[in-house]
Chains A and B, each alone.
Chain A
């Protein structure tokens, strides 16, 4: 953690573009985390006759008279519909104060919508990149470190795996379908137990061992993904989901994203596997788990940061284009892409086109610069 901060502070000091980029990203993060406190139609802290209260967390509508109150900076909530305030230009006065960036067709404040949109984009990008990193790191490490000969099993172990894995998958899928119930969970636990038990029992057999073709399988998967019209398939999958939500959207995006991470982790792991210090660690009798945890994983992470930075910009772009197209996103939500798409129907309201698009552009630009800066920090000669 401390190391990461020093890296970022070094990058920050390097040039003006990096300064701008890191400032934009921190600003985005702060706004996203504090989103309900910045734009809301209720006071943050207020004092009435009954004493102090925090009306922001109070979901009931109260018309209390407050003697003292601290208001959020933007006094509108993103979902406040007020048709009489429709399509007001920026800096015009509304009921609850100034609409700094104007309003949309339904009279919702654009600035508070954009603040909410920033929270949404942060949620989606962090969630989908987090899931993708977990999957990609795990699979890339297995494929790169173990290769095709890293894990060896004899014929009995292989057969027991071939029989039990599909059976386990069956119950796992059933858990997804029917929910966590005893009659699905118990067989799964039993099967996992049997797999481990059989593996231990058959280990003693003196039969010939074969390497599991893990790397080959994963490589085939990469090749398949290469010739996949990913965007089109994502569109098709998203559009059949009955109730679209940002959670499902980010899970679907993460399924597309983990390939990129896995590929990079794999190639890094192959390089590090051959390093002297790894070989000496192996010869000193370190366990595989400790080797992966203490020596290999920490050295894969820094180069992966570059990819992560670039994928933030691509996820935010993908999310906003999907919202712009109106596919796979909840109807009632307000996001940058949605606000931007509204401007197509109302060409006179330039503020609907300019500001949300500017937000997308700035954050994409900032992450691109950050990615570039990180890669030139790690490979100064290139």
Chain B
């Protein structure tokens, strides 16, 4: 057992590393600039004179000038050196032209010319990735006068580029002094940094969100179990009876209901006064993020009625699914020989159910429940968003919408850890409940 757990955990480490690589990679190619967000948080105006200086300070502080990963694979014409000047636009264009093999002399001259037309260039051309693209964009800007256009077209010329069309990959080893390594080191020691959005520590945000998500998911799973277990057993024993046929088709129906549709209908019809006072049964949605002076339990005790509807929406399709599964496993069990023997012995149906069927059917049920934990966290995302529950899904959604990558990636990491732990628990539970299963 222990060796199995160790084996699973050792398999889990490469997965986590891969997830962290993907998370880091996405944060590198994300179009939003985290430094801009941080400066906005500090209240530095983008047009102010100190902006460029502050920007550069943070750029160096966050070690963005280091290589991104342990190694770099680049086309042969790209250079490894980066230009670090005080102006953001200058740095951007200089690096871009370096990548395209422009001579240093030419770059310096261009930068001087760029500074004359700074606002236009920073606004319209900043996102272009090559000189060719800049020229193409310049030709299509309609607000530009023709003399100005000509001047700028003279600034950017492809003729000076020494870039050869034919290229081959070059490999460079960067060593441990790279951004990913430093980032990973921080994360392993539990330092997730601060959110770009509100400057709060990400660890704190995730902890408070996890409390809500766990409460929500656990309560739903308990309800699902309480309702679907007896239903599934009853229907499995009396399969093809009248009740079974009815519930089977009903469950198929319920299972197909999209959760977000059910949630929207519930919110519209049962939390507003639009359709008469008697339909306004439930409190309106929305639990706000935990304030500092209020503990989690205090918050829960005051706002638990707001969890009724989300839990209801969450469990309806799950009950349908789980009781179908339990029913089929009971049905399989009941067709076995030993049940016939037990019947022949004269045991009543209830005795057979209590002694044989329930213990044998509970193993797959618990496996299913534990296995459904990760998917429950995923599917609770949309419910949390609709019902404004400050759980992990809502935190993810809010961070994505606001491009707060400093929060998004720790959330992804935490959720993949939880996913693996849930699967591990499911596997161990099968082994505990069913000694015939060999782990390995």
> Do the two chains bind?
yes
| CB of A340 within 8 Å of the partner chain | yes
| CB of A91 within 8 Å of the partner chain | no
| CB of A167 within 8 Å of the partner chain | yes
| CB of A5 within 8 Å of the partner chain | no
Are B265 and A354 in contact, with the CB atoms below 8 A?
yes
Are A313 and B256 in contact, with the CB atoms below 8 A?
yes
A350 with B268, Cβ < 8 A, contacts A227-B416, A233-B412 known:
yes
Interface string of A64-80 (1 = CB under 8 A from B): 00000000000000000
| CB of B292 within 8 Å of the partner chain | no
| CB of A157 within 8 Å of the partner chain | no
Cα(A235)–Cα(B30), bound, Å: 13
Question: Which B358-412 residues sit within 8 Å CB-CB of chain A?
Answer: 374, 377-378, 381-382, 385-386, 396-397, 400-401, 403, 408-409, 411-412
Question: Which A338-356 residues sit within 8 Å CB-CB of chain B?
Answer: 340-341, 343-344, 347-348, 350, 353-354
B288 nearest CB across to chain A (Å)? 18
Interface string of B16-45 (1 = CB under 8 A from A): 001100110010011100000000000000
Counting chain B CB atoms within 10 Å of each CB, the highest count among A227, A313, A340, A361 belongs to A227
| Chain B, Cβ-Cβ closest to A167 | B169
A369 with B252, Cβ < 8 A, contacts A237-B26, A239-B400, A324-B382 known:
yes
B196 nearest CB across to chain A (Å)? 14
| CB of A226 within 8 Å of the partner chain | yes
Point out the residues of chain B lying under 8 angstroms from A327, CB to CB: 397, 400-401
Point out the residues of chain B lying under 8 angstroms from A341, CB to CB: 264
Are A344 and B386 in contact, with the CB atoms below 8 A?
yes
| CB of A255 within 8 Å of the partner chain | no
| CB of B261 within 8 Å of the partner chain | yes
Point out the residues of chain A lying under 8 angstroms from B87, CB to CB: none
Are A224 and B15 in contact, with the CB atoms below 8 A?
yes
A239 nearest CB across to chain B (Å)? 5
Are B420 and A232 in contact, with the CB atoms below 8 A?
no
Are B15 and A368 in contact, with the CB atoms below 8 A?
no
Interface size grouping (class) on chain A: 35 or more
Point out the residues of chain A lying under 8 angstroms from B419, CB to CB: 227-229
A240 with B19, Cβ < 8 A, contacts A325-B382, A340-B264, A343-B268 known:
no
With beta carbons under 8 angstroms apart, the residue of B23, B26, B168, B265 that contacts A357 is B265
Are B255 and A368 in contact, with the CB atoms below 8 A?
yes
With beta carbons under 8 angstroms apart, the residue of A17, A240, A360, A369 that contacts B30 is A240
Are B73 and A228 in contact, with the CB atoms below 8 A?
no
With beta carbons under 8 angstroms apart, the residue of B252, B386, B411 that contacts A232 is B411
Are A321 and B30 in contact, with the CB atoms below 8 A?
no
Are A344 and B253 in contact, with the CB atoms below 8 A?
no
| Chain A, Cβ-Cβ closest to B415 | A229
| CB of A365 within 8 Å of the partner chain | yes
Secondary structure dominating the interface of B: helix
| CB of A372 within 8 Å of the partner chain | yes
Are A353 and B265 in contact, with the CB atoms below 8 A?
yes
Point out the residues of chain B lying under 8 angstroms from A343, CB to CB: 264, 268
Point out the residues of chain B lying under 8 angstroms from A223, CB to CB: 11, 15
A325 with B258, Cβ < 8 A, contacts A224-B15, A236-B23 known:
no
A361 with B272, Cβ < 8 A, contacts A224-B18, A368-B252 known:
no
Interface string of A273-289 (1 = CB under 8 A from B): 00000000000000000
| Chain A, Cβ-Cβ closest to B411 | A232
A229 with B256, Cβ < 8 A, contacts A325-B397, A327-B400, A353-B264 known:
no
With beta carbons under 8 angstroms apart, the residue of A240, A325, A353, A368 that contacts B256 is A368
Cα(A358)–Cα(B253), bound, Å: 12
A228 with B268, Cβ < 8 A, contacts A321-B382, A324-B260, A347-B274 known:
no
Are B261 and A183 in contact, with the CB atoms below 8 A?
no
Cα(A237)–Cα(B272), bound, Å: 36
With beta carbons under 8 angstroms apart, the residue of A181, A182, A232 that contacts B396 is A232
| CB of B217 within 8 Å of the partner chain | no
B404 nearest CB across to chain A (Å)? 11
A233 with B22, Cβ < 8 A, contacts A228-B416, A321-B260, A360-B261 known:
yes
B164 nearest CB across to chain A (Å)? 9
Question: Which B224-274 residues sit within 8 Å CB-CB of chain A?
Answer: 249, 252-253, 255-258, 260-261, 264-265, 267-269, 272, 274
| Chain A, Cβ-Cβ closest to B412 | A232
Are A340 and B15 in contact, with the CB atoms below 8 A?
no
| Chain B, Cβ-Cβ closest to A235 | B400
| CB of A364 within 8 Å of the partner chain | yes
Cα(A313)–Cα(B165), bound, Å: 47
Point out the residues of chain B lying under 8 angstroms from A337, CB to CB: 260
Point out the residues of chain A lying under 8 angstroms from B274, CB to CB: 347-348
With beta carbons under 8 angstroms apart, the residue of A233, A242, A361 that contacts B261 is A361
A347 with B29, Cβ < 8 A, contacts A235-B396, A324-B260, A364-B256 known:
no
Cα(A361)–Cα(B265), bound, Å: 13
| CB of A158 within 8 Å of the partner chain | no
Interface string of A361-382 (1 = CB under 8 A from B): 1001100110010000000000
| Chain A, Cβ-Cβ closest to B31 | A242
B73 nearest CB across to chain A (Å)? 7
Point out the residues of chain B lying under 8 angstroms from A301, CB to CB: none
Cα(A353)–Cα(B378), bound, Å: 23
A227 with B12, Cβ < 8 A, contacts A167-B169, A240-B26 known:
yes
B126 nearest CB across to chain A (Å)? 13
| CB of B53 within 8 Å of the partner chain | no
A169 nearest CB across to chain B (Å)? 9
| Chain B, Cβ-Cβ closest to A357 | B261
Point out the residues of chain A lying under 8 angstroms from B166, CB to CB: 183, 187
Point out the residues of chain A lying under 8 angstroms from B261, CB to CB: 340, 353, 357-358, 360-361
Question: Which B136-168 residues sit within 8 Å CB-CB of chain A?
Answer: 165-168
Interface string of A234-273 (1 = CB under 8 A from B): 0111011010000000000000000000000000000000
Are A325 and B385 in contact, with the CB atoms below 8 A?
yes
Counting chain A CB atoms within 10 Å of each CB, the highest count among B167, B272, B400 belongs to B400
| CB of A197 within 8 Å of the partner chain | no
| CB of A174 within 8 Å of the partner chain | yes
| CB of A231 within 8 Å of the partner chain | yes
A378 nearest CB across to chain B (Å)? 16
Point out the residues of chain A lying under 8 angstroms from B258, CB to CB: 317, 320-321, 357, 360-361, 364
Of the A-B pairs whose beta carbons lie under 8 Å apart in the complex, a sample of 28, sorted by A's number, is A17-B249, A17-B252, A167-B169, A183-B167, A187-B168, A224-B14, A224-B18, A227-B416, A229-B419, A231-B378, A236-B408, A239-B403, A240-B26, A240-B31, A321-B258, A321-B260, A321-B382, A325-B382, A325-B385, A347-B267, A347-B274, A348-B274, A353-B264, A353-B268, A357-B264, A361-B258, A364-B258, A372-B252
B residues near A (Cβ < 8 Å) are 11-12, 14-15, 18-19, 22-23, 26, 29-31, 73, 75, 165-169, 249, 252-253, 255-258, 260-261, 264-265, 267-269, 272, 274-275, 374, 377-378, 381-382, 385-386, 396-397, 400-401, 403, 408-409, 411-412, 415-416, 419-420, 423
Query: What are the 7 A-B residue pairs with the smallest beta carbon separation, nearest first?
Result: A357-B261, A365-B256, A229-B415, A183-B165, A231-B378, A227-B420, A240-B30
Given contacts A166-B169, A320-B258, 19 further A-B contacts (CB under 8 A): A167-B169, A170-B73, A174-B75, A183-B167, A224-B15, A228-B19, A228-B416, A235-B400, A236-B408, A239-B400, A239-B401, A240-B30, A324-B382, A327-B397, A327-B401, A343-B264, A360-B258, A361-B256, A365-B253
